[in-house]
Amino acid sequence: MTTESPHRFLRACHRLPVDQTPVWLMRQAGRYLPEYMKIRQKAGDFLSLCKNPELATEVTLQPVCRFDLDAAILFSDILVVPEAMGMNLHFSVGEGPILEPVLRHPADLDRLRRVDPEDQLGYVMQAVDSIRNGLDDKIPLIGFSGSPWTLATYMVEGGSSKTFSYIKGMMFDQPQLLQQLLDKLSDVVADYLNAQIAHGVQAVQIFDTWGGVLGPREFGEFSLRSMQNIIQKLHRVGPKGHPVPVILFAKGCGSHLELMAASGCDVVGLDWTTDLGLARERVGGRVALQGNLDPAVLYASPERIRQEVRQLLHAYGPYPGHIFNLGHGMAQDMDPERVVDLVSAVREESRLLFGGQVGSNG
Amino acid sequence: MTTESPHRFLRACHRLPVDQTPVWLMRQAGRYLPEYMKIRQKAGDFLSLCKNPELATEVTLQPVCRFDLDAAILFSDILVVPEAMGMNLHFSVGEGPILEPVLRHPADLDRLRRVDPEDQLGYVMQAVDSIRNGLDDKIPLIGFSGSPWTLATYMVEGGSSKTFSYIKGMMFDQPQLLQQLLDKLSDVVADYLNAQIAHGVQAVQIFDTWGGVLGPREFGEFSLRSMQNIIQKLHRVGPKGHPVPVILFAKGCGSHLELMAASGCDVVGLDWTTDLGLARERVGGRVALQGNLDPAVLYASPERIRQEVRQLLHAYGPYPGHIFNLGHGMAQDMDPERVVDLVSAVREESRLLFGGQVGSNG
C-alpha cells in the first residue's frame, strides 16, 4: 500500500516528511463566518442546511476559499446518524438538539434500524461527491462521524446533558443494554464511514466529544472498545487505491493517550490540556498527533497568536507526524481575521522549524 | 505540632491510620434534599440563604443529621468573595450567577477592595461559629473558598462561560493584568480562609472548579501559583493548637496531580477521570487523596453503588490517607436514599478492607 500522497495533510497522517506543518481547524465551517450565516439563512435552519448537498458543499468550501488550509472537512452534524436510525431530530433555539423518543429500555432498541447510507444518508454522499468535485483534489476532504458513546449520550438523554444521568444509570445498571446500543451504533457508523470513503473522502475522523465524562475503566469499556470495533471494519483503502487514515479525537481524554494510540487509528487528536511534546514521547511514533492549540488563543492579538503557534510547533519538534489544529472547534464569536494570522503563523514558523532542522543536520 | 486528632476525617487528611475510610460528599447540603428546599423557600433566594447565619447553619447540618458523614462543610457560595470585594452579585433563574460590572481593564481592578472578612463576610463567620456550636465537635467542619483563577473567571466573564473568551483573551494578551487580579484575590482568599480558621473550621478546601480549562503551562502560571500563594499564607494551626489541613480540589486536572501534590497542601481532591490507585502511586505518600467516585454512580442501584464503592476502596488499597468523596458535587436530581446506600457501603467495605489488612499481617 503506497502512502506517498502529494498532500501535506495526508503525508503527516502517515508520519511522512512534509515541507511545513499541515493545518486545518475543527468546525472551520461555521457561524463565525459571515458567508456561512448567509447560506444558513437561505437554508432556513441548521438541519436543512446539512441535508442540502449543494448548500453543504458551499459551506464546506467557504473556509477553504478564505484561508490557506490543508484539508476540508465535510459539513454535517453527528446527529444525522441517530435520525437515519429512526429517531426524530430537531434543533430548538437556545436549547440545542432534541432527539426523541429517548432510548431507555430494551424494547426501545428494536425501533432502531440498520441504516443504508446510500439511502437514508444519501444527502451526505451527494455532498461528498460534490465537495470532492469542487475541491478538484487541491486539498483532501475529511469525512467524519460521532463515536458510538457520544451518539448514545444524545440518544439516551434525549439531547445535551450536564449530568449524563440516564446514560450513566444505564451504564452502571444495564451495561449489557448499553453495549447492545453501542454495538448497533458501531455497525451503522462503520457502514456510514465506509460509504463516505467509497464516495471519496480521503481521511475520516471519529469525534468522541463526550468520552471525557467517563472514568478510565468506563472509557475503555464503553467508548474506546466501540471505536476500535469501527476501526477494524473500515475500508482503509479508497476507491483509487490510496490509504485512508483514521483520526480519533476524544475531548478531555489526554490521560488515555496510550490506549487511543493502540486503538488501530493513524492519528490521535488532542485537546489543549495535554502537553504536545510529552504526548509525542508517550506515543513513541506509533501514531501521528493532531492539535492542540487552545481555541481561546484566537481571542488574543496576532503577535500572541504567533507566539503560541511557535511554542506549540517547537513543543512537537521537527519530527514528522504533526497536524496543526485547535484542541476543540471554532466558536461563533471568533474573528475570521485571527484565523488568517493563525494559518500564516503555522506556515511560516513551521518552515523555519523544518529549515532549522535541515541546517542543524548539514 | 500534634496531628493525633480523634476525628477520622482529620486523621486521614494527615495520613494517619483510621478504623474505616472517612466519607463526606461535595455539595452534600443542597437541592436534592427536600428539607433543604423548605429552608431555601423560607430564605427567599439562594443568596439570602447564604447570608443568613441561622439558616446557613440549618442547611449545613441537614445532611449531617440525615446521613452518617465524617465531616460537615460550611454552606456558602464561592461568589460571596467577589461580592465582598465590591461587585454586584445576583442569581438569575436558569442562567446562573451574574457578577457586574465585569473586570476587563486595568482601572476596573481599582474598584476592588481588600476585604475585612469580619466585616463584609461577617455573616460567614457567624455561620461558622453557629455550625461549630451545632456540631458540638462530633465531626469536624470544613471551610472553603474558590481558587483565585476560578473566581477570576466569573469576575471577568460576568458569570458562567463556555468559551472563557474574555479571561483567556486577558491571559494571552494582558497576562500582567490577570496576575494583578489573581494576586488581589489570593490576598483576599487567604484572609478569608484564615478568618474561617480563627472561627473554628478544622480544615479548608480550595475549589478550582475551572482549572481544567487551562493548558498545562497556564494551569501552573495562572491557577496553581495563586493557590500556592494562599497556602503559604494560611494559619495552619487552629485556635486550639490543632493543625488545619488544606485540601486542594481542581476539577479536570488529574494530569497535573504531581504539581498539585507539591503545592504545600495536605490533601488533593480528584475527579473520577483519574485512576485512584495510580494516583496514590504518583503522589507517593506526599499527600492524602480525596475522592473520587463518579457522582453518576448515585443514579445506579444500591448493589451497583456498593460494587463501585468496593472497587474504589480497593483501588486505593489498605493504606492511610484516603478520604472517600465524589469526584464532583451532588446533583439536584439525585435520590437521598442512594446516599444512605453509599455511606453504608463505604463504612462496611472499608472496615472489611482494613480488617483484611490486619489479618494478613497477623
SS (H, E, C) B267-297: EEECCCCCCHHHHHHHHCCCCEEEEEECHHH
Q: What's the mean pLDDT in B111-130?
A: 97
Contact criterion met (CB < 8 Å) for A275 and B301: no
pLDDT beyond 50 at B362: no
pLDDT beyond 80 at A4: no
Region for A252 from its dihedrals, namely left if φ exceeds 0, alpha if ψ lies in -120 to 50, beta otherwise: left
pLDDT digits (tens, 9 = 90+) for A278-330: 999 999 999 999 999 999 999 999 999 999 999 999 999 999 999 999 999 99
Q: What's the mean pLDDT in B151-160?
A: 97
Lowest mean pLDDT among A68-72, A88-92, A174-178, B322-326: A88-92
Q: Is A31 one of the catalytic residues?
A: yes
| B146 lies within 8 A of chain A by CB | no
| B304 lies within 8 A of chain A by CB | yes
Closest residue of A to B332, CA-based? A163
Q: What is the ipTM of this complex?
A: 0.93
| A357 lies within 8 A of chain B by CB | no
Contact criterion met (CB < 8 Å) for B252 and A274: no
Contact criterion met (CB < 8 Å) for B255 and A273: yes
pLDDT at residue number B5: 85
Smallest CA-to-CA distance from B8 within B190, B139, B159 is with B139
Mean pLDDT of chain A: 95
Contact criterion met (CB < 8 Å) for B165 and A215: no
pLDDT beyond 70 at A121: yes
pLDDT beyond 90 at B272: yes
pLDDT beyond 80 at A144: yes
pLDDT at residue number A361: 34
pLDDT beyond 70 at A55: yes
Band of pLDDT at residue A356, cut at 50, 70 and 90: low
pLDDT at residue number A360: 37
pLDDT digits (tens, 9 = 90+) for B335-346: 999 999 999 999
Q: Any idea what the Cα angle at residue B353 is, between residues B350 and B356, rounded to 5°?
A: 145
Q: What is the nearest CA distance from B214 to chain A, expressed in angstroms?
A: 6
Band of pLDDT at residue B357, cut at 50, 70 and 90: low
pLDDT beyond 90 at B1: no
Residues of A in contact with B304 (CB under 8 A): 172-173
pLDDT at residue number B360: 37
| B175 lies within 8 A of chain A by CB | no
Q: What is the nearest CA distance from A203 to chain B, expressed in angstroms?
A: 28
pLDDT at residue number B356: 58
Catalytic choice (A31, A225, A286, A310): A31
Residues of B in contact with A315 (CB under 8 A): none
pLDDT digits (tens, 9 = 90+) for A57-85: 999 999 999 999 999 999 999 999 999 99
Peptide bond into B17 cis (omega under 30): no
- Counting other chains too, the contacts that B36-40 makes at CB distance below 8 Å and 24 or more residues apart are B36/B62
User: In this structure, are residues A185 and A107 in contact, taking their beta carbons and an 8 Å threshold?
Assistant: no
Q: At what angle do helices B165-173 and A302-316 cross, to 10 degrees?
A: 80
User: In this structure, are residues A167 and A37 in contact, taking their beta carbons and an 8 Å threshold?
Assistant: no
Best A273, A293, A308, A342 residue to mutate vs chain B (most B CBs within 10 Å) = A273
Band of pLDDT at residue B230, cut at 50, 70 and 90: very high
Q: What is the nearest CA distance from B247 to chain A, expressed in angstroms?
A: 22
pLDDT digits (tens, 9 = 90+) for B287-304: 999 999 999 999 999 999
- Looking at per-residue confidence, does A95 or A104 come out higher? A104
Smallest CA-to-CA distance from B318 within B269, B264, B274, B280 is with B280
Q: What's the mean pLDDT in A196-203?
A: 98
pLDDT beyond 60 at A152: yes
Residue A188: what are its φ and ψ, rounded to 5°? -65, -45
pLDDT at residue number B358: 43
Domains assigned to chain A: 1-20+270-362 (no CATH), 29-66+71-230 (3.20.20.210)
pLDDT beyond 90 at A358: no
All cell numbers assigned to A310: 511557535
Cβ neighbours around A203 below 10 Å, total: 25
pLDDT at residue number A222: 98
Contact criterion met (CB < 8 Å) for A296 and B216: no
Q: What's the mean pLDDT in B255-276?
A: 97
- d(C-alpha B359, C-alpha B362), whole Å: 5
Q: What's the mean pLDDT in B36-57?
A: 96
Contact criterion met (CB < 8 Å) for A273 and B300: no
Q: What is the nearest CA distance from B17 to chain A, expressed in angstroms?
A: 28
- Looking at per-residue confidence, does A2 or B252 come out higher? B252
Q: What's the mean pLDDT in A21-40?
A: 98
